[in-house]
A = this chain, B = another copy of it.
Amino acid sequence: MGQEVVLAVDIGGTKLAAGLVDAEGQVQGHAEVATPADGSLLDSALRGLLTSVLGDVTPRAVGLACAGPVDPLAGTVSPVNIAAWRDFPLVDQVSDIVPDVPVTLVGDAIAAAVGEHWRGAGQGTASMLGIVVSTGVGGGLVLGGLAYPGPSGNAGHVGHVVADPAGPLCVCGATGCVEAYASGPSMVGWAREQGWTGSTAQALAADAARGDAVAVAAFDRGTRALARGIIDTATLCDVDRVVIGGGVAAAGPVLFEPLRRHLANSATLSFVRRVTVEPAALGRHSGLLGAARTAFLAPDPVTALRP
């Protein structure tokens, strides 16, 4: 293999995943471990994972996707859900584990968008928005066929587009963000306020699929806001397609049916109405493949994520 593969790594608050990926997008080795809750164990967990996946292979490059915020130019990360890492020099750390090859870094939602564009539900589109609906609502843009991280690496934050300025308070401090309606915890929290007694987004989706009125209303309310964010993104970025993954999106029609209805009812401009919405096709591998693609396209770590 040697120069033919890259080492792709996807780092989140729940798991650390890694694999060897070839230029066609085949994952030739893959392993994952739970993200240690004890921050002092993080570095050794990462080192152990990368060493075991690599074996005696020297990859052409390493592509990192990491939960945000990330600073691709500085090579540092401060994942909201990994408290031990604040301005953590992840690129340097990985260069220490895998010396003498270029290391690229990209936010995990951008990586998921790039992966879906390369080998998933966004193939063939000129410009797309990838959304991850899970504990939060993340997003990443592929514009003109290339990842668009933006000058600060933060482009695509569709979860913090304001759906309704009179809406609920968001974790970011603003009111009415898409995430404050459409994330799993936001939908669950609203449903519980209406008397629903479950506690997880999976249970809420199952109840909605069974026709439970409050659960259906929670998805209706969440997807109305999500449609708002998609329409604003299409209005600004002229995307052809939106690809949605993440744990909550895995619920399938319970999310996609009301979402498509709200889009059809609310989009007015012709270039916005052309947008198609599709479920992610790569499951847990979208971030890994996006990290790999980024590494293949731009092995120079400094210029990797400049648009």
Contact = CB atoms under 8 A, between A and B. Distances in A.
Interface residues on A, range: 35 or more
A165 B176 CA distance: 11
Contact of A271 (B152, B231, B237): B152
A206 interface: no
Interface stretch (A9-17, A50-58, A166-174): A166-174
A235 B157 contact: yes
B228 A150 contact: no
A144 B232 CA distance: 21
A45 interface: no
A104 interface: no
Contact of A160 (B152, B166, B235): B235
Contacts of A161: 232, 235-236
Given A144-B306, A231-B162, A307-B143, A236 B155 contact: yes
A143 B148 contact: yes
A172 B266 CA distance: 11
Interface in A135-175: 139, 141, 143-144, 148-158, 160-166, 170, 172-174
What is the oligomeric copy number?
2
A264 B287 CA distance: 34
A71 to B, nearest CB: 10
Nearest to A154: B271
Interface of A: 126-127, 139, 141, 143-144, 148-158, 160-166, 170, 172-174, 228, 231-233, 235-240, 266, 268-269, 271, 274, 306-307
25 contacts: A126-B151, A126-B306, A143-B148, A148-B237, A150-B237, A150-B238, A151-B238, A152-B238, A153-B238, A154-B238, A154-B271, A155-B236, A155-B237, A156-B236, A157-B235, A157-B236, A160-B235, A160-B268, A161-B232, A163-B165, A164-B165, A164-B166, A174-B266, A174-B268, A233-B236
